[in-house]
Amino acid sequence: MNKTSITLLVILTTFFSTHCYATWSIIAVDRKTGEIGIVGASCTFDVSGIASIVPGKGAVVVQAGSDYFARMKGVELMNKGMSLEEILNAMKDERFNPERQQYGIILLGTDSSPLVYSGAEISDWNGEKVGKDFAVMGNILPDEQVVLNAYKAFDENRDKSLAERLMMALKAGEQAGGDKRCETQYARSAFIMVYGPQDGAILKLAIQGIEKGGKPAVTLLNEQFEFWRKEEEDKG
């Protein structure tokens, strides 16, 4: 995949946006391999519009109010090489209604921990837990255990690939209760995106539009991911 097609993919993943008022997500980088990844799940029709990967640079998530223009500002400034603080300050401009947003931004080429901002007007339970190379955030969750379990699953499996750890973290969030509006379904949509510098491609798998009360989206995504992973192993 060439640079032009990567850029087009980033634009496409930022363009088709829906409001995701109840979501948990994880942003992460692997500074040894150069990989960048995002996973997310929600009780909305399609949660994947919250996320943008900027190849070679980092990742941006805007959830809760999920303002498209705030996310695009983050992508623009990340491409320009701005710092995390500069990006977050720009995204908190009042025209983006930041108090209704939950922002997560991470950079690959720095030792700085990711930054998360949770606006005062987003619904409970909301919060985040930030590590050195990843962050877990969520809103309208049953309690903090969704974030804590996802954090633990990611952090304690560093012998796995970035994609595997992200999927394990999302699954741990589901098992802790997920989006509280979905009850035991936990989420109606879910996605995983991982940029790999080796081939310049972005893996993107997504489950969308599961009917309310249907199968849990994260479980379905995990099945899709395991099928993809087996195919990759067979290729190798």
DSSP structure class, residue 45: S
pLDDT confidence bin for 168, thresholds 50/70/90: very high
**CATH number for domain 3-235, candidates 3.30.565.10, 3.60.20.10, 3.30.465.10, 3.40.50.720:** 3.60.20.10
Separation CA 229–CA 164 (nearest Å): 9
Mean pLDDT computed over 195-211: 93
Task: Give all strands (DSSP E) within 1-144, no chain letters.
Answer: 23-30, 35-42, 51-54, 58-64, 101-107, 115-118, 127-130, 134-139
Q: Could you state, in order of their start, the residue ranges of all structural domains in the chain?
A: 3-235
Percent of the chain with pLDDT strictly greater than 90: 79
Residue 4 half-sphere exposure, CB side, CA atoms within 13 Å? 0
Residue with tokens 């025209």: 95
| Nearest C-alpha neighbor of 39 from the set 236, 224, 230 | 224
Q: How many other CB atoms are there within 10 angstroms of residue 144's CB atom?
A: 15
pLDDT band with cut points at 50, 70 and 90 for residue 12: very low
Model confidence band, residue 132 (pLDDT cutoffs 50, 70, 90): very high
Average pLDDT, stretch 165-178? 95
On the question of pLDDT at 26 being above 70, the answer is yes
What are 225's two structure tokens? 């991911």
pLDDT of residue 22: 56
pLDDT class for 235, splitting at 50, 70, 90?
confident
Confidence at residue 201, expressed as pLDDT on a 0 to 100 scale = 87
With 70 as the cut, is the pLDDT of residue 179 above it?
Answer: yes
